[in-house]
């Protein structure tokens, strides 16, 4: 038998927890390959080795070439790959999940498929934004109104704090440079946050598209979860960047570096995992990495796979 080159595939139990990983790394105009258990990133300045198992998400910008062997390693270690636009402000595609269990996905699908349970989860999301209020009797329309008022207040406060003029959230996905400095920074910061949340959602085995507040988009649940943290992370950071930089500066890069620094301690990643578990009523100790495959049966819950079944058996 031909020997395989490179390091042995890491078992699921050997992989670092999500909260122990670096949040994300953005690269553009580089070549990515594999060197044993690391991905190698090469540009005109030289080559950097990055342990794949320690990465939460790898954001691939324009001009990036990645080898099959690098993708193989990244898939084995559960690192999410997200292909993004220039400066990381658009998301085009993503890679696979870390979890081999469908526990999160099944629970999410059950909750979102029933109007009553879906409303309950949506209310929990809003309750996390209004910890000092009782929202259990409010309709979705009332909750949206309160959330809109809360976010407008956050914008006004940050505008006053950093002395940055603010009118409204306004941006064009096709023309990043057309926005004001604060709107450019908000776009870049939010996409970085979406990438981080997306990597955790798929790492847990949940669906990015089965949202409770947002709906009809393949990232609806990502937007649901990301909205829990914007007032704390991306909005204040965007006004800070706009207060210290002008149009013409590389707002996207400056924002990404700052938002990365705010994620680097791993506390937000651990918090996102905990919050998703809370929202979906999944116990923290439940096993997510069990490599089990079974067949569904309409009379029994599950039956063994890999068996050649006979009629009426």
Interaxial angle between packed helices 181-203 and 251-263, expressed in degrees from 0 to 180 and rounded to the nearest 10: 40
225 within 8 A of 201, measured Cβ to Cβ? yes
For 118-169, where are the E strands, in sequence order?
none
What is the length of the chain? 313
Q: In whole angstroms, what is the distance from residue 285 CA to residue 185 CA?
A: 38
Residue 80, SS3 per DSSP = strand
For tokens 């080159």, the residue is 5
Question: Is 227 annotated among the ligand-binding residues?
Answer: yes
**Is 218 annotated as ligand-binding?**
no
Q: What is the DSSP letter of 215?
A: -
Is 261 known to sit in a ligand binding site?
no
The answer to whether 65 and 31 are in contact (CB under 8 A) is yes
The DSSP annotation for 2-32 comes to PPPPSPPPPPGGGSPPGGGSEEEEEE-S-EE
**Which residues participate in the annotated binding site for Mn(2+)?**
147, 214, 227
> What residues are designated binding site?
147, 214, 227
């Amino acid at each position: 038998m031909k020997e395989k080159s490179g390091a042995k595939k890491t078992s699921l139990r050997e992989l670092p927890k999500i909260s122990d990983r670096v949040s994300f790394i953005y690269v553009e105009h580089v070549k990515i390959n594999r060197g044993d258990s690391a991905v190698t990133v090469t540009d005109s300045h030289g080559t950097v080795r990055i342990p794949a198992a320690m990465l939460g998400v790898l954001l691939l910008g324009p001009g990036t070439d990645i080898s099959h062997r690098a993708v193989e390693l990244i898939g084995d270690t559960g690192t999410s790959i997200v292909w993004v636009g220039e400066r990381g402000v658009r998301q085009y595609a993503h890679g696979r999940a870390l979890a081999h269990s469908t526990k999160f996905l099944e629970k999410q699908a059950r909750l979102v498929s029933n109007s009553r349970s879906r409303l309950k989860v949506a209310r929990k999301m809003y309750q996390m934004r209004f910890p000092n209020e009782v929202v259990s009797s409010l309709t979705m329309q009332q909750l949206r109104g309160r959330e809109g008022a809360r976010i407008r207040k956050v914008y006004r406060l940050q505008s006053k704090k950093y002395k940055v003029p603010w009118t409204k959230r306004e941006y064009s996905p096709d023309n990043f440079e057309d926005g004001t400095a604060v709107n450019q920074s908000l776009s870049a910061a939010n996409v970085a946050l979406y990438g981080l949340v997306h990597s955790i959602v798929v790492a847990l085995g949940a669906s990015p598209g089965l949202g409770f507040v947002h709906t009809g988009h393949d990232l609806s649940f990502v937007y649901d979860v990301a909205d829990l943290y914007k007032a704390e992370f991306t909005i204040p950071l965007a006004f800070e960047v706009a207060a210290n930089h002008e149009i013409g500066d590389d707002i996207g890069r400056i924002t990404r570096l700052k938002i990365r620094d705010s994620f680097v301690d791993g506390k937000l990643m651990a918090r996102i995992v905990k919050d998703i578990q809370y929202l979906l009523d999944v116990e923290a100790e439940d096993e997510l990495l069990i490599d089990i495959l079974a067949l569904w049966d309409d009379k029994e819950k599950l039956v063994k796979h890999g068996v050649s079944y006979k009629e009426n058996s």
